[in-house]
Amino acid sequence: MNELLLLHQAQNGDSGALTLLVDELHPRVLNFVRISTRGRHSAEDIVQVTWVRFLQKLGTFDFTGAGQLRTWLFRTAYHVALECGHRPLTPLSPTSAVLTGLVAAGSEHQPAFDESDLNAVQEVMRVLRATEWLIVRLFGFDGLSHREIVELGVLGLRDQQESRSLLHEARRTLGAELRRRFPQLAERLLDQE
């Protein structure tokens, strides 16, 4: 299914295209919210508010790339969850930082983390696109395998290689942003190999 084509058709008044688009993306957004809020009962309400905001902005979208619509939906759902009083996802722990690939697991140069280090890493994670942020969360924090991430279906990945590529890109982005914004921390965490 070409999401951008359906979006453009929906913007031109095609209610059938809008229905197909929502039917395709609703389960993915709902899974994302359930994961983000740890399966709380309000997930459906959060998704409904997300769709209302989508409809309110329908005429203003000018997406040109694959994944931009999903990124907007995931990001909006995340912010709606925060507005509804849900805390952000699991706070970053040293183990999570290792799992996200910021530090090589099993490295003999495993640095000690303090709270300011963890806050810096969390701040840097905000630069990720919603899809990258989610794969870091699923792989690094929740410990899902690439196979499980693909089967979950929330990211629309076709196979494990796509999952690996997305995670690699997220790690690359995180490392570059950490080096740019927190060079001393990056040197301590990343450059000890």
pLDDT-derived band of residue 60, with 50, 70 and 90 as boundaries?
very high
For residue 59, the model assigns a pLDDT of 92
CATH for the 3-83 domain, from 3.30.470.30, 1.10.1740.10, 3.30.70.360, 3.30.300.30: 1.10.1740.10
For residue 110, the model assigns a pLDDT of 43
Please say whether the dihedral angle defined by the alpha carbons of residues 73, 78, 81 and 83, taken in this order, is positive or negative.
Answer: negative
For residue 99, the model assigns a pLDDT of 37
**99-136 tens-digit pLDDT:** 344 544 444 444 455 567 767 777 888 888 888 888 88
For residues 107 and 188, the answer to whether their CB atoms sit within 8 Å is no
Q: How many helices (H) and strands (E) does the chain have?
A: 10, 0
CA distance 188 to 147: 32
- Residue found by looking up tokens 């688009």 in the block: 21
Please say whether the dihedral angle defined by the alpha carbons of residues 29, 31, 34 and 38, taken in this order, is positive or negative.
Answer: negative
**129-171 tens-digit pLDDT:** 888 888 887 776 656 778 878 887 888 898 999 999 998 898 8
Domain extents for the chain?
A: 3-83, 94-190
The residues near 127 (Cβ < 8 Å, ≥ 6 apart) are 173, 174, 177
For residue 20, the model assigns a pLDDT of 94
CA distance 133 to 174: 10
Mean per-residue pLDDT over the chain, rounded:
77
